[in-house]
A and B are shown apart, each in its own frame.
Chain A
Amino acid sequence: MWIYEKRLQYPVNITKTDARIAKIIATQYGGPDGEIGASMRYLSQRFTAPNRVCMAVLTDVATEELGHLEMVSTIVHQLTANLTVEEIENQGFADYYVDHAVGIWPQSAGGIPFNSCEFQSKGDPVTDMFESMAAEQKARSTYDNILRVVRDIPEIADPIRFLRAREVVHFQRFGEALQSLQDQLNSKNFYQMNPSFDIGLTREPCDCQGECVQ
C-alpha cells in the first residue's frame, strides 16, 4: 500500500525549454538504469529477502525511487512544455514527438522502450543485493554523464545533483544490507545454493537485526 504525497521530494522549476536535453534526461525515467527499473527491481526483490534488514531497505529505497521517477518526469515535462513544431524538429525531438507528442513515456535516450529485462529478481538474496548495488552505481554514472551536459544550466543541474547524491546513499544502505546477509553465511552456509527457493519461502523470515545464526 502506498499513499501519495502531493509534492516533489526535491523542487524542480525549469523555465527554459530544451527538447534535446529532455530526451537525454528521459533515459533516467524509462531507460536501462532509470528510476522505473530501480523501483520495480527493489519492489520485486523484497519478497524473497531472507532478513528484516533487506526487507526494510528494499521497500524504503523502492518507495523513494517512486519519488525520483516523478522528479525525472517533471524535468522532462517542463523541458518540453509549449514547444513549437519548429523547435521540436530543430532540437532532434521529432522521432519522439511523432509517437507521443510531449507526453511522458518510458524509453531510453536511444528510443528503446522500457521493459522488465532492464532488471533482475533472481530469488537469490546475495545475487539480488549485488544486482541492486550495481544498479545504484549504474544510475549514478548516468547522472554523471547527464551532468557533463547540463552542468552550466543550474535549474537543470541542481535537481540532477540531488538525484545523483541519492544513488550514493542507496548504494551505501544496500552495502550494509549485503553485510547483513554475509553475516548469516556461516550458520548453515545456505546462501551458497539459492536459499530463498530451497529454504526461505517455507521458513519464517529471520527476525534478528543481522546477528542471528539460524
Chain B
Amino acid sequence: MMGRNNCTCQGERSKAQLMETIGQSAFAAYDTLLYMDTHPQDQEAMAYYHKQAGIRREAMEEYARRFGPLTMDLIDETDCHSWEWMMQPWPWERSGKGRC
C-alpha cells in the first residue's frame, strides 16, 4: 500500500495545489498549441509552449507518484499496489472519494 497517499509533508505541494498547477500549465500549453497551428514560425510562442508543457509534465508526474495517475502514461509512476486509475476520483465526482 502507498502509505503517504493524500499526505503532504512540509515544503510539498498539496493535492489541490498540484491539480491547480496542472490545470493552469496544461491550459497555457494547449492554448499556445492552438496559436502555433496558425503561427508556426513564432519562436517566442514556441518557447512559451515548451516552458508550460514542462511545468505540466513535471506536475503530472509528481501527482501520479503521490496521488495517482491522470493518464495511462503515468500509471507506471504510481507507487501503489491497487489499481489507482480506477480508484482515484473521476472528474465529475465532487467528493474525491477514491484512494489507495
Contact = CB atoms under 8 A, between A and B. Distances in A.
Contacts of A13: 94
B91 A74 contact: yes
A73 B92 contact: yes
B7 to A, nearest CB: 21
Contacts, number: 67
B14 interface: no
B23 interface: yes
Given A3-B71, A57-B34, A60-B34, A10 B27 contact: yes
B91 A173 contact: no
Given A4-B72, A10-B23, A176 B38 contact: yes
Interface string B22-34: 1100110011011
With most chain A CB atoms within 10 A of its CB, the pick from B33, B34, B72 is: B34
B69 to A, nearest CB: 7
Interface residues of B, number: 26
Interface string B1-29: 00000000000000000010011001100
A8 interface: yes
Given A64-B30, A78-B94, A209-B40, A6 B88 contact: yes
Interface of B: 19, 22-23, 26-27, 30-31, 33-35, 37-41, 69-73, 85, 88, 90-92, 94
Closest 7 CB pairs of A and B: A176-B38, A56-B37, A74-B92, A8-B91, A6-B70, A57-B37, A209-B40
